[in-house]
Structure 1
C-alpha cells in the first residue's frame, strides 16, 4: 500500500497530461506543503478553526462562514469553505465554551472535509481568562482518479476511480485574553491521521502547530482603533506567517474597517469590511509575491453574525432572533 504525504502531491500531478490541472495541482501542492489546513485571510474572525480553546470567547452566540477561491483564473483551482458556530455556557459555577464546525476544501482532484465538535474549559487567571480546549473531528478524504490521464494506467500508484476514506482527528488549544490583547497556542491533527484511499494508497496528515495573538490600540479619535494581529503555523517541515493590521471605525453600532496583511515569501492581502444590519461582512484579495500574475490571486468572502447571550438567567438564555434580510 502506498502512503501519500501531502508534500508528495507534486509528484502525483506531474503525471497528469492536462496542462490546466497540472498547473493548479502544482500551485495547490505549494499551498499545502506547509500544512494540511487551508489559510484564511480573516483568521482573527475564524479563531475556532485554528484553536478550539477560543470557543465561547465572548458572551455571545457567534456564527461565522467563509469562502475562499485561490489562484483565480486557473481551471480546477483550490476552493475552501468553512462554517462554524460557538457559544459560551455557564454551569457548575464556571465558564465553558462549545462549538461546531464544518470544513470543505477542494484542491484539484482532492477533496478534504472535516466535521468537528469543540469544548473549552475557562478559568479566570491574572485578571484575564484562560481556556483549554479540545476538538474531536471526523476527516473525510476523496480523490477523483477518473479524471486522471496518465501514460501507464496499470501503475498501481495511481487510481483511475473515485476513492474515499475517513479517519478520526483530534486537536487541542490554549487561549488567553486580558483586556485588549489575546494570545493562543494550538495543535491540529495530533493523532497524525492516516486515511486509506482505496486499496493501494494512503494519505498521511501531519500535525500542525499554531501561535496567534492580537491587540486593540485606542487612538485619540474615539471612533478609531488599530487592530494588529499575527498567525504563525508550521508542521515541522515548512512554515507560514501572517502579520495583519486593520484600521477600524466604530460609531453607534456601525463598524467599518480596512487593512493589509503580509505573509513573508507568500503574499500581500488587502482587506475591507464592516457591520451592516447586524451582519459582519468582510472581503479580501490576496496577491502572491511569486511570479504568478496579480490577476491570479485569491478572493475571500467572510460573513458573520453575533448575538448577546444572558449567561446569568437560570434555565434560559435571552437572545435576539436572526433576521431574514
Structure 2
C-alpha cells in the first residue's frame, strides 16, 4: 500500500515540477466553467449552485479524489438586459465562491476561494467580463502513508501542514450562442520559511486555460455544442480537450470528450423541472496507466436558484 502511494506522489511531482499536488482534473468543466475561470461568475440568469465528486483512476490505490461545492450569481444583470432605455455601457457584477477538497495518496488539499467579476454589454447579445478569484490552500501530509528512506525523517514531520495563497484571473466573452475565455491560475507568490537555518521555498505552478464553445441548432429541439479547452502548465507538455454534445431542449444531453495522451470520456446529463440537474461522466484511460485502473468517474449535481417572477432561460454553457 505504501509503495502505491509513493509511486502516485512521485508521478504527480514529476509531472508538474513543484511541491505537492496541483489543480484537480475535471472532465465536466464545461458544465461548470466557473471552476477554471472567475469571469464566468454571474453569467447566468440565476444563482448557479453545484456540487461535484470525481474519482480518478478507480482501482489504483491512493488515486486522486476530488470534491467541490461552488456557487455564483449576478448583481444588477436585469437592469442591463431588460431595460432598453439604459446605455449598453452600464455593466453588472458577478460574485461567487468555491470550496474544494482534493486528495492524492498521502496528500490532502482544501481550498477556499471567493470570486468577483464585472460584465459589460458590448452589443445586443454579446457580453465581455473580467474576473478575479482569491483564496487559500491548506496542504496536509499524512506521514503514516509514506515509507521514508530514513525512519523518523524530521523533514516529513515538520512539513505535515502548510498553507499558501491562491490567485486566479480571467476574461470571458459570451452570448447565447458561444463563449470564449482564458484564465491564469495559481499566481500567488511563493512561500519561504527556514528549517534549522536552511531556506525552503515552495510555489504552486502557474496554470493557463483557454476555453471556447459554440451552439449549433439542429432543428427546433436539438442543438449541437462542440467545445475545446487548452491547458498549459510548465514544464508539463501542452494538453487539450475536444468535446461534443447533443442537447435536447433544456432537458437532456449526451456527449463525448477526448483528452490527448490521457482519456476518452462519455457524458450524459438531465435537467429536472428547469431547476435541478445531474450529470455523469466516465473516462476510459488511454495512457499507460490504463493497465492498473478501471477508469475515472465524475458526477455533478446542480441547482438553479431563480428570483421570483424571473423568466426561465436555459443555461448558456452546459
- Note the residue ranges of structure 2 that are not aligned, 5 or more in a row: 80-89, 313-318
CA RMSD of aligned residues (A): 2.8
Q: Does 2:260 match 1:264?
A: yes
Structure 2 counterpart of 1:66: 52
TM-score normalized by structure 1?
0.81
The 8 Å contact of residues 245 and 260 in structure 1, kept in 2 or not, is answered as: yes
CA separation of 1:286 and 1:33: change in aligned 2, threshold 3 A = farther
Structure 1 counterpart of 2:118: 121
Deviates more, 1:273-282 or 1:181-190: 273-282
The 8 Å contact of residues 16 and 205 in structure 2, kept in 1 or not, is answered as: no
Q: Distance in 1 between matches of 2:247 and 2:292?
A: 27
TM-score normalized by structure 2?
0.83
What are the equivalent positions in structure 2 for 1:222-301 lying under 5 Å apart?
222-238=220-236, 239-250=238-249, 255-277=251-273, 278-291=275-288, 292-293=290-291, 296-301=294-299
The 8 Å contact of residues 165 and 198 in structure 1, kept in 2 or not, is answered as: no
Q: Does 2:145 match 1:147?
A: yes
Q: Distance in 2 between matches of 1:196 and 1:62?
A: 40
CA separation of 1:309 and 1:129: change in aligned 2, threshold 3 A = farther
Structure 2 counterpart of 1:5: none
Select the residue among 24, 37, 45 that pairs with 2:31.
45
Number of residue pairs aligned between Structure 1 and Structure 2 = 293
- Note the residue ranges of structure 1 that are not aligned, 5 or more in a row: 1-16, 320-325
What are the equivalent positions in structure 2 for 1:91-102 lying under 5 Å apart?
94-102=91-99
Structure 1 counterpart of 2:82: none
How far off its partner does 1:286 sit? Answer: 0.6
The 8 Å contact of residues 6 and 146 in structure 2, kept in 1 or not, is answered as: no
Q: Distance in 2 between matches of 1:197 and 1:65?
A: 38
Q: Distance in 2 between matches of 1:32 and 1:161?
A: 23
How far off its partner does 1:236 sit? Answer: 3.0
Q: Distance in 2 between matches of 1:164 and 1:196?
A: 13
The 8 Å contact of residues 78 and 105 in structure 1, kept in 2 or not, is answered as: yes
What are the equivalent positions in structure 2 for 1:120-199 lying under 5 Å apart?
120-127=117-124, 128-153=126-151, 158-160=155-157, 163-194=160-191
